[in-house]
Amino acid sequence: MIVRLPGQLKVGRIRSFHHFEPLNDTHIRCKITSTTAEFDDFDMRSKRYNKLKQIKPILKIKDVNVNDFIIVEHDCCWWLCKVLEINFNLKELNISLLHPPGPKTTFKFPQRSHNMDIELGTIVCLLLVPPNTTSRGNYSITTKQLEEIEEIFADY
């Protein structure tokens, strides 16, 4: 669970339930017994994730597309990356890292490309709005994006 939902806290108030049904990647339905008609639904994400507007935590490989910009954990830092290829069978992505690592707001592709294959578990989040590009080839993220990335990376 921790691998799929980084920063996840315990789901409270479920001690009296004995039957659990996943509704989707973030919600479970809890019943006292499997035949009971009454149920309660619980959100398994931290309340903090509900407030994110600029980024999206990634739970499944199908949440990512080629050319998306994602944040990846590599060498204890977060990096802005562009998705080049997706291998759905292996649940891996081929990415290109932009330099320098965060926390920064301006990034650039290095002269010598820095590509690598990563597993789904190393993705911190997806940028919902791609970075702005300048005529000099720089990519910049907003301060709001930076704040949300820092917030989610602190829990990673």
90 and 37 within one domain: no
Looking up residue 114, the CATH number of its domain turns out to be 2.30.30.140
Q: Which residues pair with 31 in a beta bridge?
A: 19
Structure token digits, residue 139: 């990519």
Mean pLDDT of 81-110: 95
Q: Which residues pair with 54 in a beta bridge?
A: none
Give the tens place of pLDDT for each residue, 121-131.
Answer: 899 999 999 99
Closest CA to 131 of 95, 94, 93, 104: 104
End-to-end CA distance of the chain: 13
28 and 101 within one domain: no
81 and 132 within one domain: yes
Give the tens place of pLDDT for each residue, 23-60.
Answer: 876 778 888 888 888 887 776 665 566 678 899 888 78
Cα–Cα distance measured from residue 70 to residue 84, given in angstroms and rounded to the nearest whole number: 11
Q: Which residue range is the domain that position 77 belongs to?
A: 55-155
pLDDT reading at 91 higher than 80:
yes
Backbone angles phi, psi at 50, to 5 degrees: -70, -20
Residues 6+ apart with CB under 8 A from 63: 56, 126
Give the tens place of pLDDT for each residue, 63-86.
Answer: 999 999 999 999 999 999 999 999
Q: What is the pTM of this model?
A: 0.71
16 and 79 within one domain: no
